[in-house]
Chain A
Amino acid sequence: MAEAAAVAHDDHHYTSTGLNSWKVGFWTFIGSECLFFGTLLSTYMVYKGAALQGPYPGDVFDIPLTTISTFVLLMSSLAMVLALDGVQRGNKRLALFWLGVVIVFGSIFLGFQYYEFTHFVHEGLTLQQSVFGSTFFVLTGFHGAHVTVGVIWMISLFVMGLRDKLPPEKALSVEIAGLYWHFVDIVWIVIFVLVYLIP
């Protein structure tokens, strides 16, 4: 009884596993997102080689260029880790610097994607051209939309940080944003391997 009352005292922080509920919930959401991208990727894979007319993947993909943008996105994940570290330590300058790097790298990746899309359209590969065009643009487009949401999220955190609203107690909100960012990054690695690298 005394024990129960003690628990009840601070009950909206009580959890049976000791994990924060936002974290558990967000992991669950990421699980759901895996199925989402998994289905989009499967669609791409089953339509591989089914395009009736060009341009075909080999005609348009520029592997070195995409490797650079992939590398930039990977590095942004590293910056994300350092940003979280900064917030947890209460080092505002470090946190803001690395959050800034995440934002810039994320934007660079989006810039590459914008260039790639316009270039492909110029080459004749449109959304409507073939099943390759349809599956490629929808898959990478949805990934790009996720990156965009991530960049907006990071900008919001950055502004909060500027206004001194990211104390170490709020590290969890950065951690969850980081989970999202790493997830989006990993999805891109899978896309890069399955779509670009495997002929």
Chain B
Amino acid sequence: MSVSTAPAPATSPETHHEDTGLWSWITTVDHKRIGIMYFVTSLFFLGVGGIEALIIRLQLFSPENQLISAQVYNQLFTMHGTTMIFLVAMPQAVAFFNYIVPLQIGARDVAFPRLNALSYWIYLFGAIYLNVSWFVGAAPNTSWVGYANLTSTQFSPGLNVDFWVLGLSILGVSSIMGGVNFITTIINLRAPGMKLMRMPLFTWMTFVTSFLLVTALPVIAVALILLAFDRFFATNFFVASAGGDPVLWQHLFWIFGHPEVYILVLPAFGVISDVIPAFSRKPLFGYPVVVYAGVLIGFIGWGVWSHHMFTSGLGPIADSFFVASTMIIAIPTGVKIFNWMATMWGGAIRFTTAMMFAVGLVALFTVGGLSGIMHSSAPVDLQQHDSYFVVAHFHYVIVGGILLGMFSGVYYWFPKVTGRLLDEKLGKLHFWSTIIGFNLTFFPMHFSGMYGMPRRTWTYRAELNVEIYNQLSTVGAFFLGASTLLLLWNIWKSLKSGEKAGHNPWGAPTLEWSIPSPPHHYNFPALPEVRSREPLWNDDERAAIEAVTLHEPATEPEMPNPSFWPIVVAFGITITWALVMTGIWWVPLLGLAFTALGVYAWAFEDPFKKKAAH
């Protein structure tokens, strides 16, 4: 396998049409810039959620600790979960969707570039709104699942839950629109010859994830609306004394919540399904099986929600059904793991940092998957549910699966985005410190859980004898936190003085590696024609594609103009929801009117109209 030898410019020449000022970022509709904004924002909130986690760990360092009050602790763990899921893991995946998917399928942009900008601005404003709660001393405090009826005005009269219910509603709008955009992009904007079954796995998993976003988010939206009505208009949806059923909240939340787990993890699976073949110099083993396994996970993911509710008293028949469906979903997940291993088998594995993170995912996600099998057994779950054992389990899945997968993606695609390689030496240090910190933090939690420490507890009694496990976790958490600083340092250093990357530094097979690094703002001067799954690994095909993609056109392709209206509409939507807090029914309509003005201006703006200045 020879690395591409096409005489390509190492980096793209100065582009003429791209401005770089702040205003150009605010009005940008370029999927690559939006992807970068998503990434930077999610990295910032990774820091916020991480600091919240470290304070939590400090409080739990010793039994009956009084470092912070129970009220502050409850806000911290609620915001840690909410932040990490909605402000870090999901947007980080969306950052990759944005930057990579159009490049992988040979598109100039996403299907709806302005809508894409709108999604980002809503995410940003929603995230800010949610975190403003800290500054008014009323951060959400009823956990990321916000079980009714603790969230009722009777039991949570403060603003805390208002911030949560409205903040998540805002973020949901962003996710649904993102899902619509990526489904349309992948269905409609594939380059000639890019059949569905030729798409790179990352694009495939984006596709499945987008379907889950579009279908699962409306369910949580309804749950949040019902809760908002209960809080602001005194309805009875979750009021047991008025005939409402608090357990209905759990159903609605987890009907969304379990697909959400796959929304989080499938993109990471997609990343490593591209990384592992690239660094094994072998095509993905069983491509159709890996695709179908992903699709199947997406489908079955809808039928397992009540395994989060085995303790809520559903009765033995429902319990058995959800035991069975949960165990079945383990099978396609296992199949993916076996296919990744089979891809490496017989390959020539290069241990780049990206590959090491991918292998780390295979090894450590398996741990989380297997502890998941333990509590898929309903009776066993009666012991493990809501204990630190479960905390250990889902951190192995989320950190060991998603975070490692995303780190793998960062090291893999950084050269495409910036034109420079990340430092491999620092990268390996980052990898090993992450692995050590991660296991040190979360492995002991299996024990604290086994020995009876429930989750979401501000403190624990000394007599439980779980102090040592908590101390290990705390030490590990600081180690893990410090390791993430290595990544930041690496990014900063490599941006300035990293080794220049060619257009295909890894000799990878997929389309994004056929264009210059960083890409032109129009991505592809002309659309290449794809004839196989690994187009850049077939010498003839690569030559034909690179003749198109590395060609400098005399006139650049026409791209949509920047637009100011997405940020205006995003602001309007955020304000509308925030005004619901007043509890006066007509006040939010003011925000709605503002939004409507923005939507009209948007609708009558011609995205391709030539500006007089040019």
Q: Which chain A positions have C-beta within 8 A of B194?
A: 16
* Closest CB in chain B relative to A145 CB, distance in Å: 10
Q: Which chain B positions have C-beta within 8 A of A130?
A: 236, 242-243
Q: A35-B215, A36-B218 are in contact. List 15 more A-B contacts (CB 8 A).
A: A4-B528, A15-B188, A16-B188, A29-B214, A35-B216, A35-B218, A43-B237, A128-B233, A128-B235, A130-B236, A130-B243, A131-B237, A133-B235, A134-B235, A134-B237
Contact A24-B527, Cβ < 8 Å, known A131-B236, A131-B242 = no
* Closest CB in chain A relative to B196 CB, distance in Å: 9
Cβ of B608 within 8 Å of any chain A Cβ, yes or no, is yes
Across the interface, do B192 and A4 meet the contact criterion of CB distance under 8 Å? yes
Across the interface, do B222 and A28 meet the contact criterion of CB distance under 8 Å? no
**Interchain Cβ contacts under 8 Å between A and B, 16 examples:** A1-B544, A4-B529, A8-B557, A11-B527, A12-B558, A16-B191, A24-B183, A29-B176, A39-B223, A43-B252, A50-B243, A50-B244, A50-B245, A133-B235, A134-B237, A134-B244
Q: Which chain A positions have C-beta within 8 A of B216?
A: 35
Q: Which chain B positions have C-beta within 8 A of A133?
A: 235-236
Closest A residue to B524 using CB positions: A8
CB under 8 Å from chain B, chain A span 114-153: 127-128, 130-131, 133-135, 138, 142, 152
Which of A8, A19, A46, A51 lies in contact with B526, CB distance below 8 A? A8
Q: Which chain A positions have C-beta within 8 A of B529?
A: 3-4
Interface 0/1 of B148-187, CB less than 8 Å to A: 0000000000000000000000000000100111011001
Across the interface, do A127 and B233 meet the contact criterion of CB distance under 8 Å? yes
Across the interface, do A25 and B181 meet the contact criterion of CB distance under 8 Å? yes
- Give Cα A130 to B237, complex, Å: 9
- Give Cα A15 to B235, complex, Å: 47
Contact A32-B112, Cβ < 8 Å, known A128-B233, A138-B235 = no
Cβ of A40 within 8 Å of any chain B Cβ, yes or no, is yes
Q: Which chain A positions have C-beta within 8 A of B183?
A: 24-25, 28
- Give Cα A50 to B527, complex, Å: 59
Interface 0/1 of B514-551, CB less than 8 Å to A: 00000000001111110000000000000010011000
Across the interface, do A46 and B248 meet the contact criterion of CB distance under 8 Å? yes
Across the interface, do A128 and B528 meet the contact criterion of CB distance under 8 Å? no
Cβ of A167 within 8 Å of any chain B Cβ, yes or no, is no
Across the interface, do B188 and A21 meet the contact criterion of CB distance under 8 Å? yes
- Give Cα A32 to B181, complex, Å: 12
Q: Which chain B positions have C-beta within 8 A of A71?
A: none
Closest B residue to A26 using CB positions: B180
- Give Cα A15 to B187, complex, Å: 8
Across the interface, do A25 and B235 meet the contact criterion of CB distance under 8 Å? no
Contact A40-B528, Cβ < 8 Å, known A15-B188, A130-B236, A134-B229 = no
Q: Which chain A positions have C-beta within 8 A of B184?
A: 21, 24-25, 28
Cβ of A169 within 8 Å of any chain B Cβ, yes or no, is no
Cβ of A194 within 8 Å of any chain B Cβ, yes or no, is no
Q: Which chain A positions have C-beta within 8 A of B233?
A: 127-128
Q: Which chain B positions have C-beta within 8 A of A197?
A: none
Cβ of B111 within 8 Å of any chain A Cβ, yes or no, is yes
Across the interface, do B214 and A32 meet the contact criterion of CB distance under 8 Å? yes
Residues of A contacting B: mostly: helix
Across the interface, do B525 and A128 meet the contact criterion of CB distance under 8 Å? no
Closest B residue to A128 using CB positions: B234
Interface band, chain A: 35 or more
Closest A residue to B241 using CB positions: A52
- Give Cα A12 to B112, complex, Å: 11
Closest A residue to B560 using CB positions: A12
Q: Which chain B positions have C-beta within 8 A of A21?
A: 111-112, 184, 188-189
Interface 0/1 of A1-18, CB less than 8 Å to B: 101110110011011110
Across the interface, do B180 and A131 meet the contact criterion of CB distance under 8 Å? no
* Closest CB in chain B relative to A126 CB, distance in Å: 10
Closest A residue to B256 using CB positions: A39
- Give Cα A152 to B599, complex, Å: 12
Closest B residue to A139 using CB positions: B222
Closest A residue to B109 using CB positions: A12
Interface centre among B176, B560, B600 (most CB of A within 10 A): B176
* Closest CB in chain B relative to A152 CB, distance in Å: 8
Across the interface, do B557 and A25 meet the contact criterion of CB distance under 8 Å? no
* Closest CB in chain B relative to A95 CB, distance in Å: 19
Contact A4-B188, Cβ < 8 Å, known A40-B222, A138-B225 = no
Cβ of A111 within 8 Å of any chain B Cβ, yes or no, is no
Across the interface, do A35 and B219 meet the contact criterion of CB distance under 8 Å? yes
- Give Cα A75 to B603, complex, Å: 28
Q: Which chain B positions have C-beta within 8 A of A19?
A: 187-188
Cβ of B364 within 8 Å of any chain A Cβ, yes or no, is no
- Give Cα A52 to B544, complex, Å: 72
Cβ of B308 within 8 Å of any chain A Cβ, yes or no, is no
Q: Which chain A positions have C-beta within 8 A of B108?
A: 11-12
CB under 8 Å from chain A, chain B span 413-464: none
CB under 8 Å from chain A, chain B span 484-522: none
Q: Which chain B positions have C-beta within 8 A of A43?
A: 222, 226, 237, 248, 252
- Give Cα A134 to B231, complex, Å: 12
Interface centre among A11, A127, A130 (most CB of B within 10 A): A11
Q: Which chain A positions have C-beta within 8 A of B225?
A: 138, 142
Across the interface, do A3 and B192 meet the contact criterion of CB distance under 8 Å? yes
Cβ of B392 within 8 Å of any chain A Cβ, yes or no, is no
Closest A residue to B186 using CB positions: A16
Closest A residue to B251 using CB positions: A46
Q: Which chain A positions have C-beta within 8 A of B255?
A: 39
